[in-house]
Chains A and B, each alone.
Chain A
Amino acid sequence: MDSPAISIRNLTRRFGSFTAVDNITLDVAPGQFFGFLGPNGAGKSTTIKMLTGLLAPTSGHIEILGLDFATDPLDVKRQIGVVPEGLALFGRLTASEYLRFVGRMYGLDRDTTNSRTDELLDFMNLANEPKKLVTDFSHGMQKKLALAAAVIHGPRILFLDEPFEGVDAIAAGTLKAMLQRMTERGATIFLTSHVLEIVERLCSHVAIIHQGRLVANGSLDELRAGVAASELVRAGGSLTGPQPEEKLTLEELFLRIVGGAGAGTPDEALQELSWLA
């Protein structure tokens, strides 16, 4: 493998006595479309915040494109684009003003910023309301704008925290096409999402974090093989569930790995909410 685009070694983050991310070690190869999954509260957003400089790790080491985040944070930030959880938008600018602002903050010259702004607004279908302030955009429009801002400087790595949440099907299609083209041209995409169908369709590699620990990492086929092998061991050699050749979906894999059905079936849980209409 080439030297990894993202290299994480023993990454840990604690909040008081609570360990949100526990000793994660992970490599993401250049050009990979990498899905980073986990149930709510597993530590996905904390990890992505540490990888993008929004949160300092308690311990561990992060290298992005061979640059040490601890010693070269600004050089790293020049190479990456981020759509964070809170979108990081300036609500009282128009979309065009915001993109021009972002471009210049990344050191682009005025002409490049202006032409890229126009192209991105057209591509994202945001050019129709030039006077509208970002704060008055719908959530989906804000997501598209945040993505446009994340790519305006042509990053080599893109970190996306739930990019498809609240985006309509047409816009999601546009975004997916753009992201796929970026990976084809060598960019690396690190994505977290709860929409597992999209992750399954887009990502070549997936890692799953659960209770702060990395519990799975590899291509989808590698994950399937891993789940099948562990179930084989647990069943004492005779599998009753789906066989490896049956190809589990990512959702099924995810539920088996993080034990989503461990707390009882949804029907059982709903019996306790009998008052609900």
Chain B
Amino acid sequence: MAGVAPPSPQKSIHGGLFSPLARGQYAALVRVQTRMFVNSLRTKRGSFELGAHILVFLIFSLIACGPAFGLGFGAWVAVTHGRILGISVLLWVLFLAWQFFAALAPALGGQNPELSHLLRYPVSFGSWIVLYLVYGLAAPSTLIGIIWATAIGIGISIARPDLFLWTACTLALFIFFNLLLARMILAWIERWLAQRRTREIVTAIFLFLALAAQVFNPAYRQNPYSRPLSHVQSKTANRVASRFMEAQKVFPPGLVINSINLRAQHRPLQASEDFLWLGVYTFGAGALLALRLRSESRGENLSDAPRRSTTALRKVRRRPALDFSGPLFSGPIAAVFEKDLRYLMRSGPMLYNLAAPLVMVFLFGGMARGGQFSGVRSRYALPIGMVWAFFGLARLICNNLGMEGDGIQFYFLSPTPMRTVVLSKNALHFVLFLLEIALISAVVVFRFGLPSPSMATDTLAWLIFAVPANFAVGNLLSITMPYRINMTRIRRETGALGNGLTSLITQLGLVAVGALVLVPCALMGHSLLAAPVFLALAAISLFVYWRVLGNVNRMVQSRQESLTLEIMKTT
């Protein structure tokens, strides 16, 4: 037919993972990412973000390198002493640390890239998965995992150079397995957190695990330093340990080291068998990840939207369940307070970010008891716990407009001054903070007993100083370095690192001030002296907070355009 174009030759090359079309798409994405990166450097904010990235990369590399030496040395010692199987303990440490860090520090991890914008292009599902994996390779958990695995591999290879090739292959597969597993777990958690019912189930499991850890820890650590094990107990412990060593052989860390051990014994067939089983695990993790990504690649919308039902079609006159208006709050303050509370309650990822530090306190609170410095740790448990509470809320406090998305424009259209909006957000975050410190205090009391009155007074005084200081810095950062928070995905957002790093430095600064005042007073035996010092500092921080709040309107007005652009930015 005249005027109709012939069938596109592209149809014949469409499909494969490395087809010309797919390769062209990868190249185009690399180019566009490069351009976006270069263009981002045109602004001061972009350069600051790059600096923050480099700094964080260096910090995590340093964090990874210390244990890496230990792991490498441990592996070398184990091999030279003929106890290759003992390396499985090191691999379990690596495995658990990798998965734990990836799951509990997703904001730092950048684990789940947003690829829905690629749906409009003919990107094959295979390419979709490849991109999904590649985009998250720079996550700190991956970086640390790879460095540690490499260190173990080097340790083994130095002790037994003949095992180098086999060790390299097995550890490479193990790294790939960990990468897939971490992504798979987070992808499914994200899915479950997206809807109310599954979110409640996940929360319940989370709490159960945290409480289980609390019960498990005291049972495990019943004065291990003061009471040596009896002969019978020792035999029982050895029996349990050997059973554990036997059982763990069927799991990936065990399979890795068993395979290397069999290769060391010149039994390549049996070594290959374990290698294949590791491959099966990797395939399983990949299949579960693919199952999740299949839905995403078909345009799944992670949202709280209920299914359309006949009951929903009825016109329902419902008054809002939340209503905080009253003598305490003016209309606009209550309105923003309620709105933000609803937003938080509807966002699984946000709740997850709030809960993760609490879970850490639950887990490590138990582990911190006992040991050489148990007295010191018990004494400072309360202030340390309070610091964790700040970490849990830092993302909200230091980017308090980030949740608004397109709605940010509304604040500029409405007759409510931005100062009122910010004050309302501060009020909500303060309430959440009170909730967090109440929970953490309960954990501290449960785990370490009641803190001394002087320590409780000092901690309270420090909080009176630290809270306004935190909110003052948070308000400044929210206006000068805002970024859009994705309410449905667990990920590090564009622009978040610079803000996060500055907020972290602030938290550390406040902790440092606390330590500089508290520790000398405690060493001099006059702990209560710290309280008046903190209260004097609190007067300053309150004044600073009040000044910052007073200047919010002016600051927002001068940055209105960039603020709107950053918060409304979708990619």
User: Within the complex, which residue of B3, B342, B406 is in contact with A89, where a contact is CB–CB below 8 Å?
Assistant: B406
User: Within the complex, which residue of A84, A92, A104 is in contact with B347, where a contact is CB–CB below 8 Å?
Assistant: A92
**Best-buried of B4, B317, B325, B332 by chain A (most CB within 10 Å):** B317
B residues near A104, Cβ cutoff 8 Å: 325, 331-332, 334-335
* Interface membership of B318, Cβ < 8 A: yes
User: Within the complex, which residue of B331, B339, B560, B561 is in contact with A90, where a contact is CB–CB below 8 Å?
Assistant: B339
A residues near B256, Cβ cutoff 8 Å: none
User: Taking A54-B412, A101-B335, A128-B313 as contacts, is the C-beta distance between A93 and B406 under 8 angstroms?
Assistant: no
B residues near A128, Cβ cutoff 8 Å: 312-313, 315
In B299-347, which residues have CB < 8 Å from any A CB?
301, 303-306, 308, 312-313, 315-320, 323, 325, 331-332, 334-336, 338-339, 342-343, 346-347
User: Taking A54-B564, A130-B312 as contacts, is the C-beta distance between A74 and B415 under 8 angstroms?
Assistant: yes
CA distance A61 to B261 in the complex (A): 82
Contact at A91–B407, with CB atoms within 8 Å? yes
B residues near A87, Cβ cutoff 8 Å: 406
B residues near A276, Cβ cutoff 8 Å: 5
Q: Which of A132-140, A172-180, A257-265 faces chain B?
A: A132-140
Contact at B332–A97, with CB atoms within 8 Å? no
Contact at A107–B331, with CB atoms within 8 Å? yes
CB-CB contacts of A128-155 with B at 8 A, as 1s and 0s?
1111110110000000000001000000
Expressed in whole angstroms, the minimum distance between the Cβ of B22 and any Cβ of chain A is 24
* Interface membership of A255, Cβ < 8 A: no
CA distance A130 to B557 in the complex (A): 35
Contact at A88–B413, with CB atoms within 8 Å? yes
CA distance A277 to B316 in the complex (A): 49
Contact at B5–A88, with CB atoms within 8 Å? no
* Interface membership of B404, Cβ < 8 A: yes
CB-CB contacts of B391-435 with A at 8 A, as 1s and 0s?
000000000000011111110111111000000000000000000
B residues near A92, Cβ cutoff 8 Å: 304, 342-343, 346-347, 487
* Interface membership of B146, Cβ < 8 A: no
Contact at A88–B313, with CB atoms within 8 Å? no
Contact at B315–A127, with CB atoms within 8 Å? yes
CA distance A277 to B7 in the complex (A): 10
* Interface membership of B154, Cβ < 8 A: no
Contact at A129–B346, with CB atoms within 8 Å? no
CA distance A109 to B331 in the complex (A): 8
Chain A interface size, as a band, is 35 or more
**Which single residue of chain B is at the shortest CB-CB distance from A104?**
B335
**Which single residue of chain B is at the shortest CB-CB distance from A134?**
B407
Expressed in whole angstroms, the minimum distance between the Cβ of B420 and any Cβ of chain A is 9
* Interface membership of B193, Cβ < 8 A: no
Contact at B487–A53, with CB atoms within 8 Å? no
CA distance A148 to B415 in the complex (A): 17
A residues near B308, Cβ cutoff 8 Å: 129
In B555-571, which residues have CB < 8 Å from any A CB?
557, 560-561, 564, 568
CA distance A276 to B5 in the complex (A): 7
Expressed in whole angstroms, the minimum distance between the Cβ of B222 and any Cβ of chain A is 47
CA distance A223 to B345 in the complex (A): 55
CA distance A122 to B404 in the complex (A): 26
User: Within the complex, which residue of A90, A114, A277 is in contact with B410, where a contact is CB–CB below 8 Å?
Assistant: A90
* Interface membership of A52, Cβ < 8 A: yes
* Interface membership of A75, Cβ < 8 A: yes
A residues near B313, Cβ cutoff 8 Å: 128-129
Contact at A77–B406, with CB atoms within 8 Å? no
User: Taking A101-B335, A101-B339 as contacts, is the C-beta distance between A89 and B407 under 8 angstroms?
Assistant: yes
A residues near B338, Cβ cutoff 8 Å: 101
Contact at B303–A277, with CB atoms within 8 Å? no
In A82-120, which residues have CB < 8 Å from any B CB?
82, 84, 86-93, 96-97, 100-102, 104-110, 114, 118
Expressed in whole angstroms, the minimum distance between the Cβ of B116 and any Cβ of chain A is 14
User: Taking A89-B406, A97-B339 as contacts, is the C-beta distance between A53 and B319 under 8 angstroms?
Assistant: no
Contact at A105–B335, with CB atoms within 8 Å? yes
User: Taking A104-B325, A131-B312 as contacts, is the C-beta distance between A275 and B487 under 8 angstroms?
Assistant: no
* Interface membership of A56, Cβ < 8 A: yes
A residues near B306, Cβ cutoff 8 Å: 131-132
Expressed in whole angstroms, the minimum distance between the Cβ of A255 and any Cβ of chain B is 27
Contact at A275–B5, with CB atoms within 8 Å? yes
Contact at A102–B410, with CB atoms within 8 Å? yes
CA distance A88 to B414 in the complex (A): 11
Contact at B304–A133, with CB atoms within 8 Å? yes
CA distance A102 to B305 in the complex (A): 22
B residues near A129, Cβ cutoff 8 Å: 308, 312-313
User: Taking A54-B409, A88-B406 as contacts, is the C-beta distance between A277 and B339 under 8 angstroms?
Assistant: no
Contact at B407–A77, with CB atoms within 8 Å? no
* Interface membership of A55, Cβ < 8 A: yes
* Interface membership of A194, Cβ < 8 A: no
Expressed in whole angstroms, the minimum distance between the Cβ of A131 and any Cβ of chain B is 5
Expressed in whole angstroms, the minimum distance between the Cβ of A272 and any Cβ of chain B is 15
**Best-buried of B316, B410, B416 by chain A (most CB within 10 Å):** B410
9 pairs, A vs B, C-beta closer than 8 Å: A53-B413, A77-B414, A89-B407, A92-B342, A100-B335, A129-B312, A136-B303, A275-B5, A277-B3
Known A96-B318, A102-B414; 5 more pairs at CB < 8 Å: A92-B342, A92-B487, A106-B415, A109-B331, A132-B305
Chain B positions near chain A (C-beta within 8 angstroms): 3-5, 301, 303-306, 308, 312-313, 315-320, 323, 325, 331-332, 334-336, 338-339, 342-343, 346-347, 404-410, 412-417, 487, 557, 560-561, 564, 568
Chain A positions near chain B (C-beta within 8 angstroms): 52-56, 74-75, 77-78, 82, 84, 86-93, 96-97, 100-102, 104-110, 114, 118, 122, 127-133, 135-136, 149, 275-277
